[in-house]
Amino acid sequence: MAKIVVPFGPQHPVLPEPVHLTLVMEDDVVQQAVPAIGYCHRGIERLSERKDFQQVPFIVERICGICNFMHAMAYCQSVEKISDTVVPPRAEYLRVIWAELNRIRSHLLWLGLLADAIGFESVFMQFWKIREKFIDLIEVTTGARIILSTNIVGGVRRDITPELLKRIDDDLREVRPDLESLGNVLLKDYSIKQRAIGKGVLSHDDAHKLGAVGPTARGSGINTDNRVRGYAAYDELAFEPIIETAGDSYARTLVRYRETLQAMDLIHEAIAKIPDGEISAHIGKWPEGESFELVEQPRGEVFYYVKGNGTINIERLKVRTPTFNNIPPLLHMLEGCRMEDVPIITLSIDPCISCTER
């Protein structure tokens, strides 16, 4: 049978990001998937090396609008290591609260997109209706709906008042029943199970061998989540990674849905335990030396390498995002699948190409 080549992306009704794959097919079965990269390259690493190191958090946030806070947090934590800067405990808790609000916002966006890709527009709209509540909480605590711009080297630049902390706590309790009810609709529907169960299977060994991270790895039974290292205030919170073992698109959906509920629990606990005190610290010295930081974004592990030479500029910044790690597992999952399953399998890794190509 003759092979045919089918381009998939970078524009496609199902894709929230400009993923570009070349599919080599026999009949309607994918034999090979070849990625094309560079569509969204913006030169952010190079730009960061030319700016004051205290300006860089606001630059790296532009790598990704959905998980922008965690980009800035990873950078700040790297610089804090080589500038002898100790972050106040209250700032660490505030970082956790905003990071988990980002995680919820990202996962709800993805859950809605999955429902829409399968054809359930009403479920998509309901997920995004709930998501809007969390965006409102981000706006009222930071002054912005998308790019938070609260991380600085040494802590955070905004505090959250006791009244606003109570509002966050109350609003999360208010929306949780709706989210649980909607989750039952999404996860128990026959059509969604037909499109996700057994599709894009990634075994535990293949996930480990191919370097999968985040929900893509945890959906294949790999117990990995950088929050267990205890950065920020996670070491003072009750946290355990969410693990599923089936390794298919449905397992990755379960992981993200359960992580959304878990993130709400972490915010409740952080609000209950947050100490009083300062929200930023004096920077000990200009960054000198090398450091790296690993932070758990909604899509998985983000890696930041920073090299400082004792001047006001960073000598080298290197970022590795989770989608970069998850593309090889995606290519493996696509081999042998049918054409109609390609969009859902691709969506199941929650690709962020703007992050990957920067």
* Mean pLDDT, rounded, for 252-256: 95
Concatenate the DSSP letters of all residues of 262-314 into one string. Answer: HHHHHHHHHHHHPPPS-SB----SS-EEEEEEEEEETTEEEEEEEEEESSSBE
**Considering only the top CATH level, what class is 3-357?**
mainly alpha
Q: Give per-residue burial for 32-41: e unless 16+ CB within 10 Å, then b.
A: ebeeeeeeee
Task: With beta carbons less than 8 A apart as the criterion, state whether 285 and 54 touch.
Answer: no
191-235 pLDDT, tens digit each: 888 888 999 999 999 999 999 999 999 999 999 999 999 999 999
234-246 pLDDT, tens digit each: 999 999 999 999 9
42-77 pLDDT, tens digit each: 888 889 889 899 999 999 999 888 889 999 999 999
Question: How far is it, in rounded angstroms, from Cα 139 to Cα 105?
Answer: 12
Instruction: Report pLDDT for 41.
Output: 79
Q: pLDDT band at residue 12, thresholds of 50, 70 and 90? A: low
Task: With beta carbons less than 8 A apart as the criterion, state whether 51 and 42 touch.
Answer: no
Q: pLDDT band at residue 19, thresholds of 50, 70 and 90? A: confident
Locate the domains of the chain by residue range: 3-357
